[in-house]
Structure 1
Amino acid sequence: MSKPSIREVLESYGFDAIPDADRWVKVRCAFHGERNASASVHPKQNRFKCFACGMSGDSYDIIQAQEGIPFSEARQRYGTGDEEVRGGVHRQSGRGVHSKTRTGRRTFRSGIR
């Protein structure tokens, strides 16, 4: 199973079109609404990082945070990279929380459902 493209995942959650580049590209983060670019995406590495809200990771990390589902379900739903990522940004007020993943990596979990 291949990962879904970070470009397709982010664009499905309201990001402007992201060029297919082999470098970090500055983008405006759609997860917290802003005027200036505070996030970066590396399409070839399938990575995303927002320096304002702390959201970061690969396509599965973004899907998990946005849809509130575990990795196994995100992989089952979107693992081939063929399925369209559905959804949108649904935020609740509240502060984010840091948590550890199964691999021990720290991730930022905000009040996103």
Structure 2
Amino acid sequence: MTRPRSSVSKPPIAAVLKHYYSIDVKERAGWSKTLCPLHVEENPSASVSTEKDRWNCFVCQVSEDSIDVVMREEKLGFREAQAWAHARFGGSGENVLPAVQGESGRGVHQGSRPGGRSRKVHPRPRRFGADWT
């Protein structure tokens, strides 16, 4: 029997975005604007919520939580990403599911739209070291 995904402890989205993209997210209520880490832009098209531990980009139509980001960046399945995130970012560990050998994990959902159509995300160079505020 598998547990629902919502019962799994996840690392804070602020820590994950800082680790992968050098984006500093301040803890605050509501959604904060930020530059999208998946495409080059001058005006912020993404938002981050530290309350909901999610980020989304309105241009890419990508919405992810911290485990989704780890899965994409580390090319891991869901359970492997949980274990990796627990080892890297810590946590209680009581809700981390063990990896099952031979299980491929689930795919990252990008740009889910009504009617099942999705928009493909094209990786582009990221501007590391840029001012993300």
CA 1:39–1:57: 2 relative to 1, 3 Å: same
- Given candidates 72, 90, 102, the residue that maps to 1:82 is 90
1:7 is aligned to 14
**Identity score, percent:** 32
> Superposition RMSD on alpha carbons, in Å?
2.4
Find the aligned partners of 2:53 and 2:41 in 1 and give their Cα distance.
Answer: 23
Find the aligned partners of 2:90 and 2:18 in 1 and give their Cα distance.
Answer: 15
Runs of 4+ in 1 over 6 A off after TM superposition: none
Letter in 2 for 1:23: G
CA 1:36–1:111: 2 relative to 1, 3 Å: closer
Where in structure 1 are there 5+ consecutive unaligned residues? 84-100
Q: Does 1:30 align with 2:37?
A: yes
The TM-score, its normalising length taken from structure 2, stands at 0.60
Letter in 1 for 2:15: E
Q: Does 1:44 align with 2:51?
A: yes
1:65 is aligned to 72
Asked if the contact 1:64/1:70 (under 8 Å) is kept, the reply is yes
Deviation at 1:17, TM superposition (A): 1.1
Relative to its length, the structure with more helix (as a share) is: 2
Find the aligned partners of 2:121 and 2:77 in 1 and give their Cα distance.
Answer: 15
The TM-score, its normalising length taken from structure 1, stands at 0.69
Deviation at 1:15, TM superposition (A): 4.2
Where in structure 2 are there 5+ consecutive unaligned residues? 1-7, 92-105, 111-119, 124-133
Letter in 1 for 2:36: C
Letter in 2 for 1:2: S
Aligned length: 92
Relative to its length, the structure with more strand (as a share) is: 1
